[in-house]
Structure 1
Amino acid sequence: MHRTPPNPAGPHRHPRRARRAGGPRDFDWDLGPGRGRPGPRGPRRGRKGGDVRAAALLLLDEAPAHGYHLIQQIAARSEGAWSPSPGSIYPVLQQLEDEGFIDFERVDGRKTATLTDAGKAYVEEHRETLGEPWDPEQLRRGGDAESGALITSVKTLNAATRQVMTVGSLAQQAKAAEIVNEARRQLYGLLADDDA
């Protein structure tokens, strides 16, 4: 049965119900935490939590780390309120490498990430926006942390869009419009899928 995407002016489902989808590599899409749903004994390990991208950047600004160490650090700093799954950490690290923000090297047999100069500059410039994604009080309030992650992603998308509008050629601006329109269609598709 065909479903009509929701009217932007009408009511929306809560962001927690929407499953994230991947976006264009050139934008700062938050790949986000896992998709596990709460069970009879509480949320599964892959449950939604905070902003994985922000957490990884902030921790790597302190010291190089491999993926498992990042998971441990996030769990410790959130006082157990958030323990992201490997399936949420490693795609984010790959994205950060694609953006030129981290490099990988083998340390004691582990693939360890280190912030590049560009990554350090990004963290310094956006430290206030990155915030404290492992704040246990915010995480325990539920949807607030996820809303914050989505807001951060929207802000970075807006910044990238403004940059293209300012310095991009007409062809680049036209391509950017196609990318944004496709992202909009995917977002509505998430809500339609969740209603199925």
Structure 2
Amino acid sequence: MRHGPGHGRCGPEGHRRRFGRDGLHGPREGGRGRGRLGALGRFFAHGDLRLAILHLIAEKPRHGYEIIKDIEQRVGGAYSPSPGVIYPTLTLLEELGQVTVTAEGGRKLHAITDQGRAFLAANRPGLDALLERMEEAGRAGDEGPPPQVVRAMENVKLAVRLRLARGPLTTEQADAIAAALDAAATSVERIG
């Protein structure tokens, strides 16, 4: 197999299948994840999420879950990247030599390498623009629902969709799901 430039493990075809059309910028990240983008439109342009993740890891070594939560917090809940976007991007960054991974209590801790710092420096104008958009979204997010509430609502919707996708429900199962959702709605209404 022929290797891509500067990469010793995979050729361009391997990346195209695994990481997106051009194989350079990780998964097709724009619009992936959960959130209330509204007027912000497609929050991350192609390659922006990779820059954001690398920037966060440059600040301090992080676990994947921390990256998801940090991005969600920085944009005021306007976007919450899914694990299905974050973890493949972290794998790409490792394969490109821009981060290293160490095991820490059964979890992976990602730290930036000199090559990763060089990539950030070479892409500084784009990174600065991205950080400004994230900050702007964070300020706008102060006017919307709290990010933890948005996340919890999305979790409930996802859980229901996943259960429905597994196959037909019996009458008892449908009644149990409806009762759980009705109980949650009643609890929310009583918060006051």
Bigger relative contact order, structure 1 or 2, given CA contacts below 8 A and separation 6+?
Answer: 1
TM-score w.r.t. length of structure 2: 0.50
TM-score w.r.t. length of structure 1: 0.49
Q: Which has the larger radius of gyration?
A: 2
